Amino acid sequence: MNYIFYFLITVSIIAGAINGKLSDVVNAILTGAELSVKVAFSLIGIMAFWLGMMKIAKQCGLVKIIAQIIKPITKRLFNEIPEDSPAIGDIAMSFSANALGLANAATPIGIKAMEELQKQNIDKKSASNAMCMFLSMSTAGFQLIPATVISVLISIGYKNPTEIIAPTLLVTTIAFLSAITIAKLFQRFWTPQVAQNHIKKEKQGGEI
């Protein structure tokens, strides 16, 4: 990614210089840098809030309840990780936040889920099937209620902001199911060498 961003910045500067708009490029870079800082600070509050909510949910047993409800689904999708793994609860909470259209809220929970999945990962240098599956599900962004988009439409004075619910549900459902299907297909054709060795040792009854 560093090389990609370096390439894009370099090309932008060269194109701006050739077209006599180098000052616009410089202004855009400075404006973008300022905006990135504002966005980062604006996320601190919501991330702190939802991480706190996550901790409360764990302590009161809500995460376990949600994890048990979706257990039949997670057992099939994430069959590589133990059923009692803390990652199951984090995945459940992340899915719930995404389903309610709270994208910013799902971010810290998703990071926590990835950390737990990495602990279960055999090959620490490569993403596991479970990590790839979770990433594809999160990226697809299934939403029952696009709360964030609705709030934006309300803020700009849109007359009927809730009319976006049906098309959003349709599109995100198709994207969500497609992401799961593709991830499962790739799992059948590709397994990291470290994971293959781990499976062989398990079958042979050797030490892992």
- Nearest Cα to Cα of residue 89 among 99, 100, 104, 74: 74
Estimate the crossing angle of helix 62-69 against helix 86-99, to 10 degrees.
80
pLDDT value of residue 178:
92
pLDDT value of residue 61:
76
Each residue of 178-187: pLDDT tens digit?
Answer: 988 998 888 8
The answer to whether residues 130 and 117 touch, using CB atoms and an 8 Å cutoff, is: yes
Each residue of 156-171: pLDDT tens digit?
Answer: 677 888 888 888 889 8
Low-confidence ranges of the chain (pLDDT < 50): 194, 199, 207-208
The answer to whether residues 50 and 105 touch, using CB atoms and an 8 Å cutoff, is: yes
pLDDT value of residue 174:
92
Instruction: Tell whether pTM > 0.85.
Output: no
The answer to whether residues 98 and 135 touch, using CB atoms and an 8 Å cutoff, is: no
CB neighbours (10 Å) of residue 87? 25
